[in-house]
Chains A and B, each alone.
Chain A
Amino acid sequence: MTLPAGTHAVRQSLASFRQEREADWKAFEALLARVEKRAPRALSEDELLSLPLLYRSALSSLSVARATSLDSALIAYLEALCLRGYFYLYGARRSLRMRIGDFFLHDWPAAIRDLWREVWTSVALTVIGAIAGYWLVASDKRWYDAIIAPSLAGGRNPDSSAEMLRSVLYGGGDHFLSGFAAYLFTHNTQVAILAFALGFAFAVPSVLIILMNGCMLGAIFQIYAAKRLGFELGGWLSIHGTTELFAIAIAGAAGMRIGTSIAFPGELTRMAAAARAGRVAATAMVGVAVMLLFAGLLEGIGRQTITGDIARYSIGGGILALWISYFYLFRMMRHGNG
């Protein structure tokens, strides 16, 4: 039996293709492994410049291998290598500091402005909920237990005495950041995330959560107002409450945006509309977490140490004004090609 003519030549040329390129692939793999572990700063200038060259050489090797070689292990190796290189090189990554800067200077206020209709709907729903809660508890005080969970009520209920209620408002704690404040922060954030995530179900659960949140506010207000302590409660709540309630309203608004854009996608496909809404809403949600953290700090530090009603109202009102002007008036001009 004789060898079919030419197989030897084919074997030789493919073997030399691999031999000649293999060093480049290995170098690219080693560089990728390094930049994936540490910042690109760890590379020297030459190595940094060679990265895109090695990437293109690997891509061209892949094209050649696909067209001429039947070694499936070699092709699988090159495909995995090129994919890793592609994700790294086209991943458009900027430093963490720049991303954080962009978020505060630009992305966060822009997201809130983009959501303005939902945000004010959500605020209106909170007010409606508060009025409903107030009216329900005023008409029958058994509603109070149905609206507010005992773990959050902290012993305040319609049968508490005026002195007891007053002591909660002005009883100065000697410590700053209490465990209760940390608990409230995580609880509120979880409520906010839920209000956001449930928006997926055509926004209905988000609306309900926001209404319920307003109801709780109205209910607690009623038991204080009944003892003629309404004004004082307002001061006590407003120190951190303006920030906190606004944050939860924004979370609900983010949920509503997602729900409504899935229900009414407009000219986009439903998938594209959902993806677009999701990204704006997610940016708003990070802002919500920042606001809730801020509210938690205010609550832990300010609520028990600042006991004057006027001071409380002015701090709460001032911070609310700050948020609103930050979101709606503050526009950072961005220079360059950022």
Chain B
Amino acid sequence: MATARNPAALVRPLVTPEGVDLRVKLADAGTRASGFLLDVVIIVVAAVAVSLVAIFGLGGLGVKDAEPLVIVWIIFIFLLRNVYFIAFEAGRRAATPGKRMVGVRVASRSGAGLTLDQVIARNLMREIEVFLPLSILAARGSAGVADTLSTIFGLVWALLFSLFPLFNRDRLRIGDLLAGTWVVEAPKVALLEDLSLRKDPITARFQFSAAQLDAYGIAELHKLEEVLRRDDYFAMKAVAETIGRKIGARVEPVDSKAFLTAYYGELRAHLERKLLLGNRKADKYAQ
């Protein structure tokens, strides 16, 4: 799939009234599927728990007194199926618990605030996207009808709706299409330490010339940052060897981390200085 290869294909401009482009990232199909599955698990667990309580209530009360309980049960299951998504998405965080866990939320495609009717429109369409194929399966299963052809036809038709997000650029469900919404990534990111401020006695031993710092660009710098933050000994050793070979420096394997930290700090400062002077050196091939 195109998105797996090129994450930039899922970035959309979102210019705030202050004139800053926030570059929202659309949630990919896998994230959305896992968010939805989490919600399904929550709904099913709640339904089973309430049903168990209802069954024990029926056993204890006798049929006559239990009727109010049956009514409450019917209405509760109905609410779970139809109101769960609407109530959570209309809330302040515009996300169901499942969506929140995977770090996505619903937003209006126009960039304006999400309104209640949009939330309702996108969630009522779930009826034909999810519940219809399920009920076709259930009806066929319970009736024991071996009419394979019509079952397959019904499933294909229903799957066409379920898989709709895979067939358009913006990963819209039918519900998103009708409501004018999309699902964007809204992760909570913690502020991490600035790697170039790491103080280490061994780090201070490494010094680099301008020629050595010109060997790489911003793309490589960001990869190096990733490696340092992951803090995996073998990855750092391999990267330190590669960089050492390229810039002609000898690095002992035990010093890999210190060497990379020193090189990262110097390279970043070098590239940031170029940036201030108006030269964004995108990668090692650029001047």
Contacts and interface: CB of A to CB of B under 8 A. Distances in A.
Interface stretch (A161-169, A211-219, A282-290, A317-325): A282-290
B225 interface: yes
A259 to B, nearest CB: 11
A177 B207 CA distance: 84
B116 A77 contact: no
A282 B179 contact: yes
B22 A177 contact: no
A36 B188 CA distance: 13
Contacts of B271: 70
A338 B70 CA distance: 43
Contacts of B179: 275, 278-279, 282
Interface residues of A, number: 78
Interface in A104-150: 107
A152 interface: no
Contacts of B71: 177-179, 182
Interface string B96-131: 000000000101010111111110111011011000
B178 interface: yes
A12 to B, nearest CB: 9
Chain A interface, >50% SS class? helix
A25 interface: yes
Given A194-B128, A258-B178, A271-B177, A279 B117 contact: yes
Given A4-B213, A35-B92, A36-B93, A87 B186 contact: yes
Output the residue of A87, A91, A92 with the most chain B CB within 10 A: A87
Interface of B: 14, 16-18, 20, 22-24, 67, 70-71, 74-75, 77-78, 82, 92-94, 105, 107, 109, 111-118, 120-122, 124-125, 127-128, 132, 174, 177-180, 184, 186-192, 194-197, 207-210, 213, 218, 221-222, 225, 229, 265-266, 268-273, 275-276
28 contacts: A2-B209, A4-B210, A10-B269, A11-B269, A18-B194, A35-B92, A36-B92, A68-B272, A68-B275, A70-B221, A73-B229, A76-B189, A79-B23, A79-B189, A80-B187, A87-B94, A178-B71, A179-B70, A194-B127, A200-B178, A271-B177, A275-B180, A278-B118, A278-B179, A279-B121, A281-B121, A282-B124, A282-B179
Given A80-B187, A99-B116, 18 more contacts: A25-B191, A67-B275, A68-B272, A68-B276, A69-B272, A71-B268, A73-B229, A77-B189, A83-B184, A92-B113, A93-B113, A178-B71, A179-B67, A197-B125, A278-B177, A278-B178, A278-B180, A282-B117
